[in-house]
Amino acid sequence: MAEIGIFRLLKRLVVWTLIIGGCWLYFTNSQIQAASTAMIWNFRQRIVNLIGNGDDTSTQSLNLSDSSQKNEQTSQQKTDSTTIPTNGRWATNTATIYVNTGNKTLDSAAQSAIQQWNQTGAFTFRPVNSSQQAEIVVSAMDNDSTNAAGLTKTSSNSINNHFVHANVYLNQRYLLDPEYGYDQQRIVNTAEHELGHAIGLDHTKQVSVMQPAGSFYTIQPGDIQAVKKLYATN
């Protein structure tokens, strides 16, 4: 019995030493302090994002994930663009794509997103070797004047409403800054979300890669159905 008593005392001593040691480290090591402050901040940021999820009014200011601009008029496009905000899509469920973000992490996230969509069989992105050959161009932006972690602009033919070109931007300002807590999976989810817009999908509040805060889900069965439905007719 005495042995157990000593053992418990020793155990308590060890625990207290660890706690005191932990506090001491916290107050004396500014790097650890900064890291834990950043962790707390990230956690708050995540909660804000989650709260912002299903709420249209708050997503504008709180959603760091994405925004999309449809049917944007571009000067180089000789084809007609429409400003009517109706759903667009490509003529068929396939489009050529070129990825060049200038960053390894973003490039590989975009490549994974392409693979994931291609595996669904609902839409096929065909990689090409230059932006001139591509219907969809994926690049990076470094922009803190927007809350968006990604942005997709599409140009459409006004007669048949088919897309003629799309630009997908991944915002490195948020995606690559550890303060915002984007791990590789969330960056891939963001790229899948933007490619979803480039296919012609809109936001939904369902469990979907197309939730307005577009980084929490990968492609869901409902998303595949939505693409199949969008391209069911010619």
Residues at the interface with Zn ion (CB under 5 A): 66, 68
Question: Which is nearer to Zn ion, 61 or 130 (by Cβ)?
Answer: 61
CA–CA dist 90, 109 (Å, integer)? 23
Question: Which is nearer to Zn ion, 66 or 223 (by Cβ)?
Answer: 66
Min dist. Cβ of residue 20 to Zn ion (A): 49
Q: Tell which residue, 94, 77, 63, has the closest CA to residue 171.
A: 63
Question: Which is nearer to Zn ion, 68 or 154 (by Cβ)?
Answer: 68
Question: Which is nearer to Zn ion, 43 or 226 (by Cβ)?
Answer: 226
> Which residues does 84 contact at the CB level (< 8 Å), separation at least 6?
71, 158
Task: Name the amino acid, one letter, at 46.
Answer: R
Min dist. Cβ of residue 200 to Zn ion (A): 12
Min dist. Cβ of residue 150 to Zn ion (A): 7
Strands (E), 15-159: 67-69, 94-99, 124-127, 136-141, 150-156
Min dist. Cβ of residue 212 to Zn ion (A): 6
Question: Which is nearer to Zn ion, 66 or 135 (by Cβ)?
Answer: 66
What tokens does 71 get? Answer: 């049917």
Task: Name the amino acid, one letter, at 129.
Answer: N
Q: CB nearest Zn ion: which residue?
A: 66
- The C-alpha angle 89, 155, 234, rounded to 5 degrees, equals 25
Min dist. Cβ of residue 156 to Zn ion (A): 17
